[in-house]
Structure 1
């Protein structure tokens, strides 16, 4: 294997030792994921929003696959201040780990529950969107999108808009600050809007979904996340994702 496709050597130690290392507040991160949005999108957004130092590792999947714990990506390698290298696996677990590290899970157990339930609700929406719309055959994609918008997306919109209004219509799911639930919603809204079939309009906008749109605007107005979204790399991921699904 060449140096470019050898993954970081993960520290082998006791759970207690690794847990202590994970308390690091000035870690750097490396992401292993394909050059698409997909399951790497929210991870990138969390790292960018939080101002973390991070980079993407070059992908040579046939070589790297056997080196990963579940033979799937994304994988995140955390290099802690003590020199320990932690391996983070499974997208939902990675997202929640990073959210905990960067204080994006609320300030108490009830707020964490609220963050989790709207985060997972949005993840279910995403899991339905990919096979039904993004990966649909081109000849039926528009019709499948219309059905998805009417049968699934509309219910999600109604439920989330209502909760956001109950929270003061301030563009946040919990309290007055950005949490994992906010960032998850932003990433999924962006993905749905990027992959809209010709001749169809997704029912997501400032006019149609004002409370959800505030979530998007609040998060994306953050300087670090705004800089990432405007970066050349983020634009490349947009193009690669559209090409991957034939949009």
Structure 2
């Protein structure tokens, strides 16, 4: 059995879905979390100066979606053929496009630019993506693909705390089908166990404060 070590920050963000994958599969993993102090010391040891990193039996791998795709295959959360994988992966990439919009807003330091970005997010981007995501979930029996659980579902649901924190409200409050989808995914026994026991610390604000001092 491989030995897994996930290295990320003391928050959810883009790596929480990897923790969801491990939890769903009931797979043990070492959950290494950096804060602003430990990260500054560890950063030079990373391949490209970014996280997450997944170590498998001591060998280092990077890029969150590549890590997720690998684990999804290991844990049977992909399609049954390459065309199905193409469709699932395209949804994951689209959900990641949605996530990136929030990251750009979160890390923007110019207040005028931030105000414009927030207005665009609230008035245009969030409704644009969530309406389409909701229609897809409705058309696929409550999932993102094929009326079955895939890693696209885990990826989307795991991002909710991050995007809600970033924009400052419940992003699914006007999207009943997506809210039910999130509730269903989070109620999967192994995932619920993770949610009930995972660390609660969040250091996003620490990094924002540090960035604003640069």
TM-score (norm 2): 0.83
Determine helix, strand or coil for the equivalent of 1:88.
strand
Larger radius of gyration: 1
Contact 1:76 1:94 in 2 (8 A): yes
Task: Give the structure, 1 or 2, with the largest relative contact order (CA under 8 Å, sep 6 or more).
Answer: 2
The equivalent residue for 2:51 is: 73
* 1:34 paired to 2:9: yes
Contact 2:14 2:159 in 1 (8 A): no
TM-score (norm 1): 0.73
Choose 222-231 or 115-124, whichever is displaced more: 222-231
The structure carrying a bigger helix percent of its residues is 2
Contact 2:92 2:155 in 1 (8 A): yes
The equivalent residue for 1:188 is: 159
* 1:57 paired to 2:32: yes
| Aligned partner (choices 174, 192, 196) of residue 145 of structure 2 | 174
Q: What CA RMSD, in Å, does the superposition of the two structures yield over aligned residues?
A: 2.5
Determine helix, strand or coil for the equivalent of 1:195.
helix
Contact 1:37 1:241 in 2 (8 A): no
* 1:204 paired to 2:204: no
* Per-residue deviation, residues 137-161 of structure 1 (Å, max 9, x unmatched): 5966566434202221111012111
* 1:163 paired to 2:136: yes
1:236, CA displacement in angstroms?
1.4
1:109, CA displacement in angstroms?
2.0
The equivalent residue for 1:131 is: 104
Count of residue pairs the alignment pairs up = 205
The equivalent residue for 1:18 is: none
1:217, CA displacement in angstroms?
1.4
| Aligned partner (choices 227, 233, 243) of residue 193 of structure 2 | 227
1:100, CA displacement in angstroms?
1.4
Determine helix, strand or coil for the equivalent of 1:53.
coil
1:95, CA displacement in angstroms?
1.3
Q: Residues 65 and 192 of structure 1: is their aligned pair in 2 closer, same or farther, counting only changes over 3 Å? A: closer
Instruction: State the distance in 1 between where 2:148 and 2:27 align.
Output: 18
Q: Runs of 5+ in structure 2 lacking a partner?
A: 210-214
